[in-house]
Amino acid sequence: MHQSSQMVARLGALSGPVGMLLFGIAITPFMLTFYGPIPPSLPAEQVAEFYRVHANGIRAGAIFGIAGATGLGAFSAAITALLKRIEGPSSPCAYLQLAGGILSVLGFLIPMMIWVVAAFRPERDAADIVLLNDLGWTLLVMPAWTGLLQLLPITIAILLDRSAQPLLPRWLAYLCFWTELLFLPALAMGFFQHGPLAWNGLLSFWLAAAGFSTWLICMSICMFRAARIPD
């Protein structure tokens, strides 16, 4: 790769962890917004009161969250360029990954905007605020298939790379596969308001978030190293 291309590739590799950090700031106590996901079992008046009390924090946090989603978009674009180096001219896995990455970015971006709408008019009826809250958390947690559309092509491209000096290590393919498995329990969250499969549960949220964060960091490190490998 040319030196300028290496620099752009490295910036793309860093954009994922930076974007995830900004998104994490948006939903942590640091921004005085969400202390983990609001339990889906919480009564409507308590949910509405939360948005009224933390309205300014939610509005400010969304600025960081939207910036974080943008960083994840740049990260997906950088992965696409890397997979094209692996696959060559046709690059079906690269473009499938890009489609999944775009959908995943929307899965981070849209919930933030929905929560801002919920906090924008604190005088709304509690039922309306609950509806917006439910919609935001459902869009963030449930769409496991978009993760499959992004991670499975990466897995396939790595495993099919037979070059003398592979750009990405094979263990990363297995990490992609296991990360996707951690997303799948969230598909059932629509049936539960309590327990590990609810949107704030161990399986639907916390393990998936830990798996995604681990994959993001490992992917970024491998992309950074791949930028040094000549074409």
Q: For the chain, give every domain's residue range.
A: 3-226
CA dihedral 149, 153, 156, 162 (to 10 degrees): 180
Contacts of residue 112, Cβ cutoff 8 Å, sequence gap at least 6: 26, 61, 62, 65, 66, 69, 136
Distance CA 198, CA 118 (A): 21
With 0.85 as the threshold, say if the pTM is over it.
yes
Q: Are 78 and 223 in contact (CB under 8 A)?
A: yes
Evaluate whether 220 touches 21 at the Cβ level (below 8 Å). no
Q: What distance in Å separates the CA atoms of residue 190 and residue 129, rounded to the nearest whole number?
A: 18
- Burial classification of residue 35, based on how many CB atoms lie within 10 Å of its CB (0-12 exposed, 13-18 middle, 19 or more buried): exposed
CB 149 within 8 A of CB 100: yes
Tell me the pLDDT tens digit for each residue of 40-89. Answer: 999 999 999 989 988 888 888 889 889 999 999 999 999 999 999 998 88
Percentage helix, strand, coil, to 5, in the chain? 75, 0, 25
C-beta of residue 31 within 8 angstroms of C-beta of residue 64: yes
Rounded CA separation 58/133 (Å): 12
Which residues have a Cβ under 8 Å from the Cβ of 46 and sit 6 or more positions away? none
pLDDT band at 192 (very low <50, low <70, confident <90, very high): very high
pLDDT, tens only, 94-129: 999 999 999 999 999 999 999 999 999 988 999 999
